[in-house]
Amino acid sequence: MTLVPPPRWPLALAMSLLGGALVGLLPLQEMFARAGLRPGWGIALMVNIGLPLASIFVAVWYPRVWTSLVLGPLTVLGFLGTRMLFKEPRFWNWSVALLIQVSHPVLLAAAIGCSGLAVVASMAVGPWRRVGIPDTGPRCAGCGYPLTGNIGGTCPECGAKTAAS
């Protein structure tokens, strides 16, 4: 069991933005066009395979349900950022019209789908990887009851004598 320190959540959110941006950088559209295939398939591959994989990767790295829920929208946002940079590298000229131009309704579905997969992935790795802090407090030698703050000298659970902490 690996415990991931809880304060790493901002890093997880930043990673999903970056992951989406990296998927947007893949030159699949151009590769498909060069191979005589429809460039749209390249985009479809990025949206249907690349973005979910990026979300799942972050969800496994930081397996917590509430962060996983926002991974989908963040990954899609990162992806949109790169696509907009391709259309207009001068980001100070970005407009709502441009955003609408690079957006597609399927991205909304992708955001929801990516979050869903991320939640499933974060729960699936539960037995091996979890977000939490290691439990290092004293425990009763007899029954395992946590004795942090116990001053009575006896375990409240089983009554065994304990070394008073």
Choose which of 157, 161, 164, 165 interacts with Zn ion (CB under 5 A): 157
- Least distance between Zn ion and beta carbon 3 (Å): 25
What's the min distance (Å) between Cβ of 145 and Zn ion?
Answer: 5
Location of structure tokens 């709502």: 96
> Which stretch in 3-11, 26-34, 125-133, 151-159 sits in contact with Zn ion by CB under 5 A?
151-159
Interface with Zn ion includes 141 (CB under 5 A)? no
CA dihedral (93, 95, 98, 99) positive or negative: positive
Query: Of 2 and 136, which CB lies nearer to Zn ion in the complex structure?
Result: 136
Helix, strand, coil shares, percent, the chain, to 5 = 60, 5, 30
Structure tokens at 142: 């007899």
Among 21, 56, 76, 140, binds Zn ion (CB under 5 A): 140
- For binding to Zn ion (CB under 5 A), which residues are involved? 140, 142-143, 145, 155, 157-158, 160
